[in-house]
Amino acid sequence: MRKHYLDNIRWITVVIVVFYHVVYMYNAAGVVGGLGNITGMEMQPIDAFMYFVYPWFMPVLFLISGMSSRFYLDAHSEKDFVKSRTVKLLVPSTIGLFTFQFIQGYVSMSFGDAFSALDGLVPKPVIFLIMVASGSGVLWFIHLLWIYSMILLLVRKIEKGRLLSAGAKTPVWMIVLFTIPIWGCAQILNVPVPPVYRIGFYFSFFMLGYYVFSNDEVMEKLKRCAGVLIFIGVAASVAFTVLYFIMYNEMNYADKPVNRGILYTMAAYFGSLAMLSGMARFGDFSNAFTEWMSKKSWGLYVFHYLGISSVALFIAKKGLLPAPMCYLLSLLAGFVFGYGLYAIISRIPIYRWTVLGIRGDKV
């Protein structure tokens, strides 16, 4: 039976990502990468949203990706797994940069007038390569996911199913204590630039998803504890927001030392468990709307940021509209670009393979 709650977690989280990137684009907290403050306010209340969701919305995607890998490998060979993950993840995050995502690189570099700064100092072919690399944007997630998938196959060959059997017997108290090794993983294999490449941290969620939470026995335990886990997840996220947004005056949540602290880890882990257990208990259903959202979530994830950043570059940066209108227009553009470009590119041969990882024999 298909686990509809995983589909629902996926598309709901992607929608949260769209809202997050709108706020992030114009944040006043000093988190670099977007256009920055356009309201003139020293502290923007809307920025609190970033602090509340950032610790857990990507960990939960890695968690359910690990679970989905288990279900795929239960029904397919490892050869099929490698092929499907390479086409779906590696091709769009490499070849796709040259065929389409360099456009995102152009927009991102234009925020800081990088082209003017590099002109005459760096050869144009090198500038193009920098633009291509800058276009990776949200694709960092599938970079890591492909690497984790390949590592998983090596681990499977070594442990030969023993870890999966042990994971099915995981008691609730041990699930709670997983906070400690996750915190330890948060300290290692962190790429300084860009800081989103937290290889050890996200790997821990992916592997827990595969070896622990993919087991029905464990999920039944989580469903019984859903109310408590939701309370703890919300409380940890609120505490993180209050501490670093209010008390520490918008301290950068996306970089060290904040993103390596125990409170960040608790918000990330228990926020993920809150989403997982809550949806497993209350959101395991499917209807026409959820099916449509689930089918389009991949395109929304891949293309939404181009819409948001384009509005920021061509409208907000030039001051053509008031700040509230820029926020709303960016949000609208995120969904229009996400769904619109997906509808177009998924129907173009070659491009649907290089940009979206859709094989030529599929529509």
pLDDT at 360: 66
Distance CA 143, CA 202 (A): 12
Place of tokens 């595969």: 210
Please write down the long-range contacts of 349-355, taking CB distance under 8 Å and 24 or more positions apart: 350/99, 351/99, 351/100, 353/87, 353/91, 354/91, 354/92, 354/95, 354/96, 354/98, 354/99, 354/100, 355/92, 355/96, 355/99, 355/100, 355/101, 355/302
What pLDDT band is residue 249 in, cutting at 50, 70 and 90? confident
- Count CB atoms within 10 A of the CB of residue 225: 16
Mean pLDDT of 119-145: 90
pLDDT digits (tens, 9 = 90+) for 337-358: 999 999 999 999 999 999 999 9
Q: Name 32's bridge partners.
A: 34
Does residue 32 sit in helix, strand or coil?
strand
pTM over 0.75: yes
Do 294 and 11 touch, CB atoms closer than 8 A?
yes
- Residue reference for tokens 């944040």: 27
Mean pLDDT of the chain: 94
Q: How confident is the model at residue 121 (pLDDT cuts 50, 70, 90)?
A: confident
**pLDDT tens digits, 164-191:** 999 999 999 999 999 999 999 999 999 8
Q: At 361, is the pLDDT very low, low, confident or very high (cuts 50, 70, 90)?
A: low
Rounded Cα distance between 265 and 258, Å, is 10
Query: What phi-psi label fits residue 37: left (phi over 0), alpha (psi between -120 and 50 degrees) or beta?
Result: beta
Closest CA to 249 of 238, 237, 241, 261: 241
Tell me what the mean pLDDT of segment 85-114 comes to: 92
Q: Band of the pLDDT at 321, cuts 50, 70, 90?
A: very high
pLDDT of residue 30: 84
How confident is the model over 150-160, as a mean pLDDT? 95
Q: How much is the pLDDT for 195?
A: 86
Please, are residues 309 and 107 in contact by the beta-carbon 8 Å criterion? Answer: yes
Read off the tokens for 92. Answer: 């769009």
- The ranges assigned to domains in the chain are 4-356
Residue 113 has pLDDT above 70, yes or no: yes
Confidence band for 1, pLDDT divided at 50, 70 and 90: confident
pLDDT for position 6 = 97
Residue type, 180: I
Average pLDDT in the 2-27 region?
97
Torsions phi, psi for 190 (to 5 deg) = -100, 125
Residues of the chain above pLDDT 90, percent: 85
Q: Where are the alpha helices (DSSP H) in the chain?
A: 4-25, 48-75, 78-85, 91-96, 102-111, 114-118, 124-134, 140-159, 162-168, 172-177, 179-185, 199-208, 216-224, 226-241, 262-282, 288-311, 323-345, 351-356
